[in-house]
Structure 1
Amino acid sequence: MKGGKYNRTLRLINIIYILNNNPKGISPAKIAEDCSISTRQAYRDLSDLEHYLKVPLWTDKGKWGIEPGRYLPPISFSLPEAMTIFLASRLLLAYSNVYNPSIERTFMKLNSVVPGPLRDEIRKTMEQMQKRETDQQFINTMELLARAWTEGRKAKVWYWTLGKKQPTERIIEPYFIQPAGLGHGNYVIGYCHRAKEIRTFKIERIQRIELLDEKYTVPADFDANEFLGSSWGIVVEGEVKTIKLKIDAPEIIRIMEETRWHPSQVTQRQPDGSAIVTLKLTVTTELVGFILSWGEKVEVLEPKKLREKVMETAKEMVKIYQKKKF
């Protein structure tokens, strides 16, 4: 009996999380499916949440939800979940070379409900981050972009395109904000009224930003995961190609087999002991840089243009190192 009550308590907490993650509502049948219970039991649990635990619920057209802004669910983490928070804090430490108070405050709040040993390690990670310089302009820009995105407001930005002498004024509609580990940068993806198409802007290159009162709506068919799915990093350009890389070095083959660089990646051993890595990607500078980082240990088999691009870049590198030293 005691175990049953405990399991039911955990289930009710889980239902609160489910409701909180579905602000537009969710059906009792779907709750039952997610919790592995009957639909009838899901209705009983919803009733108990509303009448005994005083969770402010609404129901409309067969869906249930929590009244917006009126209830914060309890938070607790299992050890694997706490480990995820720890790993995220370490990733942010490696990714961000400047101090951001918002990152620190977020993890310190989460850290209050993390088991002891991990709590100490996360605290040490945040203390290490405090030693880094603060980029107040970036922090302010990120905050205003976040407001523009979540409030559906257009933003006027002065963006300094790489290679240009002066920043250009643009009005953008933020669709998504994405960090990019490869370049240690943050990007906003959105519709640019100047270019009249979806563009990707590095946030660190935004010199100035103003929020506008004019509203916009992110297109219903825009999915950031699909938009970025064919890209090696953050840059999305050109058509998707089948990339084939040949690897002979056993240690590199092992790295390719144990590391998932991209969802489309397939690594196949060959009869001669080599391996072919196949990817479905657009050809970008980021991809070329990744291939070159392996030096002579990775050979591009196809497409032809990528092979030629890597070869031309390698030749130019040789020219630099063959120059007479002064």
Structure 2
Amino acid sequence: MFVHTPSRIRPRVAGVVLLPALGVALAVSMVISVGVGPVFIPPETVVSVVAAKLGMLADPGTWTAAESNIVWLLRLPRVVAGAFVGAALSVAGAAIQALVRNPLADPYLLGISSGASAGAATQILFVASAAGAAALAGSAFLGALLAIALVFALARIGGRLVPSRLVFAGIAVGFALGALTNLLVFLSNSRDGIRAVLFWMLGSLGQSRWDTLGLLCLSTLVTFVLLLGWSRRLDAIALGDDTARALGTHPIRFRALATATVALCVAVAVSVSGAIGFVGLVVPHVARRLVGAPHRLVLPASALIGALVLIWSDALARTAFAPAELPLGVLTALLGTPLLVALVHRMSAAR
């Protein structure tokens, strides 16, 4: 059964105060996190370099060429990727939890991320390791669709989707696709390909470049706009299929359409960052705690909080053990596991 988390803030206040505050926090965080690293760059320098690169400021020559390259070529693409991947995973998690009426559902636990990683691994190891971002995202998308189709097939009883079986089916499919990815690595003779696949398995933003971000930004924005337009349908289907039908929503068709949309968004995100768990699970619950149940508020709050979480997680991952870099997926798992345990404990206590 899907459980809505009560909000401590009235929806009107959340929409007028909290969401703009989160937006400001995100903008400030992006500027500060770009400067964080082995070479610290002051926020004012970051802003000046970006403004100059965008043609908004004449280059006064107050920064070095090295600082300009670090900001524009290395760190800013990584921070932008982190913001959009975090937003994509969090929005996807919020939507999936409503679609299947299960508070423990997310792209990682439902096997979507594992399926996307398996598709990307197949592309890298056996098709074309130098394929472009669009081809890689397409392979990841096919893997994600296969994963969610298998999960839905296993979770159905008598033609109806049973939310209580969904997480177990997702875990099973995720393990199976993870094993398939490992098998592909075992069978491959390409050392470069194996290293690239390990990137998907551990998760990282280290390979983010400007030419890989266009598809990520577009898919995230389109998915967010579509889901926001479907926010009332998500509210209805979260209350049950009968309620959704009474309010004019066909639950089976809408669930299929929304799930395919979410799978595409997650596949593109995974094609940039690899599989990153727990963000899509935990962040929507934090958002509901702050803004309540309406998805017109949950979705933007999830996007902003998810972007903040992944930006600062990546900053910690690349600085905590410098010069070595901790894989981002490992860090989010370490941080997310205690939150997941607390969530399960709270749900059990509420019964």
TM, length-normalised to structure 2: 0.22
Higher helix share: 2
TM, length-normalised to structure 1: 0.24
Higher strand share: 1
Q: Which has the higher contact order (CA 8 A, sep 6+)?
A: 2
